[in-house]
């Protein structure tokens, strides 16, 4: 009988190398000599992860059973595909994970390590503490491959748990898949989010008070469990904040625990809605671990995370006997941060993301962030903490040195990654900057971060101030981009489009040179609708769709040095 190693290696193009199979032809704008570099992958200075699904398709859910082997010979030792699986060689459950990232050809995966019988198996992968739940993060739209890595390291440096990461190269069913980050899934564990373990019998007294992990996030299907806040995110809002259970798991949390957590958050929000919410004795400081909210703000703002505060926003509460206060975190999902998003002002140096409320977006910020920023005590704590961190932890030389060290470590592998996925020099949603090389992407990353820190130095609220909102008004948006209508655009096989065109509307605050273009999901330009000077005011452009196949497309508005993009869907063709 063949060993698992033999079965996995049989899926490779040959015993000594893996043929790099492109999901799409090379972009014709790239140097055609790049094709010669796609010959083979035989070894790496990074650990090598080999996965075999035995012909099964990996689904969004549920996880399918597969085999995984890891080749890792230790720090500084080269790893060869012909080496034995000396670090892990067993079963896994694997599924596609993510929300917007699922549209990319390079998928990210949720991994569950299992034994031969299919049961969860706690293992210490690549030096990380033992657990069974892991993530292989693709960072497709983040061409530095390190925005998440830097954000989580900063959180660790500030004394908080955030997912630890390890770089690796992945071979999936004989196909070299590129550079991935092995990451810890957010989970209750003594080595992850260290809150009290809960059982179904913990329904009264101190036992029911924790620990809990919950979040504000996109819905993961119709089965997502949670509850709506009784407080609107802003006056007159059509949206509601939806809190989701994370731990105990949605399938395991019992009614008494649901009731406790809902009542706890309702009491906190009720206090925040009162005029005396900032009372030094009986105000929010009795409910919140204020330091964690201060540091969470700093980390979201230094990265200007467009999803900050409103998506992937985790909170946790321990048992009262251990710590009765609500903590913010852990951090999660920074691929679109650090100047990488061309919407919601994500690439702008100036402005506070906490003030950025989009009334048309289904996922607004909860109202209590603005209330915190209006309290002088919170602002004073924020200012003092920023001054402290700027002395040692958040310094430009230190951050640049770390970025350079990571870039040096993955330099060989990133070249292979961008041969496999030739996206350098092309637009991948929602890139605000399109570098022509990996070094261009790194330079933009470092320069953007340096300028953002300088802006925060100058604009960090002064002690005794009334928050950040007064600063945001000095930097009004120069344009707004509306969702195309109709969207989705429906078509039937063999027939003309039900809606043969769609209209894109936008508003300019002042005259400017404008570019409005349509792209496919691979970043290839379909057409340019506008390319020239336009006056201030409202504008519309219609686009006829009879040449487009069913799928996801993007339209991108560039106005001066600012840009924004949105999805356009064609269904049923």
pLDDT values of the chain reduced to their tens digit, one per residue, 573 residues: 344 444 444 434 333 344 333 333 333 323 333 333 334 799 999 999 999 999 999 998 899 999 999 999 999 999 999 999 999 999 999 999 987 788 899 999 999 999 999 999 999 999 999 999 999 999 999 999 999 999 999 999 999 999 999 999 999 999 999 999 999 999 999 999 999 999 999 999 999 999 999 999 998 755 789 999 999 999 999 999 999 999 999 999 999 999 999 999 999 999 999 999 999 999 999 999 999 999 999 999 999 999 999 999 999 999 999 999 999 999 999 999 999 999 999 999 999 999 988 888 999 999 999 999 999 999 999 999 999 999 999 999 999 999 999 999 999 999 999 999 999 999 999 999 999 999 999 999 999 999 999 999 998 875 444 444 443 333 335 778 888 877 777 655 444 444 467 888 888 888 888 899 988 876 778 889 998 889 988 898 988 776 678 888 888 888 876 778 888 888 765
Instruction: Look up residue 424 and give its DSSP letter.
Output: T
User: What is the Cα–Cα distance from 349 to 432, expressed in whole angstroms?
Assistant: 12
User: What is the Cα–Cα distance from 308 to 297, expressed in whole angstroms?
Assistant: 9
What residues contact 545, with CB distance under 8 A and at least 6 apart? 489, 491, 497, 499, 500, 501, 502, 570
Chain CA centroid to CA 303, Å:
12
User: What is the Cα–Cα distance from 516 to 502, expressed in whole angstroms?
Assistant: 14
Provide the pLDDT for residue 13. 34
DSSP for 61-92 reads SSPEEEEEEEE---TT--EETTS---SEEEEE
DSSP for 511-548 reads -EEEEEEEEETTS-EEEEEEEEEE-SEEEEEEEE-TTP
For the question of whether the overall pTM of this predicted structure is more than 0.85, the answer is: no
Provide the pLDDT for residue 502. 84
Q: Is 418 helix (H, G, I), strand (E, B) or coil?
A: helix
Q: Are 315 and 326 in contact (CB under 8 A)?
A: yes
Provide the pLDDT for residue 6. 46
Provide the pLDDT for residue 222. 53
Number of other CB atoms surrounding residue 348 within 10 Å: 19
The architecture CATH gives domain 479-571:
Sandwich (2.60)
Q: Which residues pair with 108 in a beta bridge?
A: 97
Q: Are 368 and 407 in contact (CB under 8 A)?
A: no
Q: Where are the domains of the chain?
A: 4-184, 205-375, 479-571
Provide the pLDDT for residue 490. 65
Tell me the CA distances in angstroms from 425 to 307, 385, 514, 523, one per residue in order.
Answer: 25, 39, 21, 10
Candidates 151, 143, 173, 168; CA nearest to 47 is 168
For the chain, report the end-to-end CA distance as a whole number of angstroms. 47
């Amino acid at each position: 009988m063949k060993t698992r190693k033999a079965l996995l290696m049989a899926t490779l193009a040959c015993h000594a190398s893996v043929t790099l199979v492109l999901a799409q032809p090379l972009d014709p704008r790239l140097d055609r000599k790049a094709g010669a570099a796609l010959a083979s992958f035989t070894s790496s200075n990074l650990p090598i992860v080999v996965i075999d699904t035995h012909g099964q398709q990996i689904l969004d859910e549920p996880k399918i059973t597969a085999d995984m082997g890891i080749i890792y010979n230790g720090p500084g030792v080269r790893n060869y595909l012909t080496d034995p699986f000396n670090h892990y060689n067993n079963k896994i459950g694997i599924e596609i994970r993510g929300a917007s990232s699922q549209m990319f050809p390079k998928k990210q995966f949720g991994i569950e390590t299992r034994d031969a019988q299919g049961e969860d198996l706690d293992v210490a992968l690549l030096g990380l503490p033992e657990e069974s739940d892991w993530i292989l993060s693709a960072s497709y739209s983040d061409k530095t491959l390190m925005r998440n890595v830097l954000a989580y390291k900063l959180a660790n440096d500030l004394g908080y748990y955030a997912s630890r990461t390890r770089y690796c190269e992945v071979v999936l069913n004989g196909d070299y898949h590129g550079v991935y980050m092995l990451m810890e899934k957010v989970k209750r564990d003594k080595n992850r989010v260290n809150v009290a373990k809960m059982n179904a019998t913990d329904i009264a007294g101190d036992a029911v008070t924790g620990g809990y992990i919950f979040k504000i996030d996109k819905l993961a299907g119709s089965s997502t469990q949670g509850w709506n806040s009784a407080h609107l995110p802003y006056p007159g809002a059509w949206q509601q904040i939806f809190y989701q259970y994370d731990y105990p798991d949605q399938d395991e949390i019992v009614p008494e625990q649901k009731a406790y957590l809902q009542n706890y958050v309702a009491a906190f929000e009720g206090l925040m809605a009162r005029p005396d919410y900032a009372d030094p004795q009986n105000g929010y400081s009795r409910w919140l671990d204020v330091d964690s909210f201060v540091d969470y703000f700093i980390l979201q703002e230094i990265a200007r995370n467009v999803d900050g505060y409103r998506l992937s926003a985790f909170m946790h509460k321990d048992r009262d006997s251990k710590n009765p206060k609500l903590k913010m975190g852990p951090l999660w999902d920074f691929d679109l941060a650090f100047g990488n998003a061309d919407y919601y002002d994500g690439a702008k140096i100036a402005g506070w993301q906490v003030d950025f409320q989009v009334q048309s977006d289904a996922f607004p910020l909860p109202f209590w962030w603005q209330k915190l920023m209006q309290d002088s005590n919170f602002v004073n704590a924020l200012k003092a903490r920023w001054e402290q961190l700027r002395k040692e932890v958040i310094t430009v030389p230190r951050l640049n040195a770390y970025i350079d060290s990571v870039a040096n470590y993955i330099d060989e592998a990133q070249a292979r990654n961008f041969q496999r996925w030739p996206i350098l020099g092309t637009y991948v949603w929602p890139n605000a900057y399109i570098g022509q090389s990996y070094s261009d992407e790194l330079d933009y990353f470092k320069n953007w971060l340096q300028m953002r820190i300088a802006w925060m130095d100058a604009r960090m609220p002064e002690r005794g101030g009334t928050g950040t909102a007064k600063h945001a008004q000095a930097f009004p948006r120069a344009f707004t981009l509306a969702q195309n209508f109709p969207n989705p655009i429906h078509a039937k096989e063999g027939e003309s489009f039900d809606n043969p065109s769609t209209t894109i509307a936008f508003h300019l605050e002042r005259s400017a040179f404008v570019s409005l273009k349509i792209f496919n999901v691979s970043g290839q330009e379909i057409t340019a609708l506008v390319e020239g000077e336009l006056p201030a005011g409202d504008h519309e452009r219609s686009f006829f769709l009879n040449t487009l196949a069913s799928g996801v497309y993007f339209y991108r508005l560039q106005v001066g040095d600012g840009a924004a993009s949105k999805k356009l869907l064609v269904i049923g063709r």
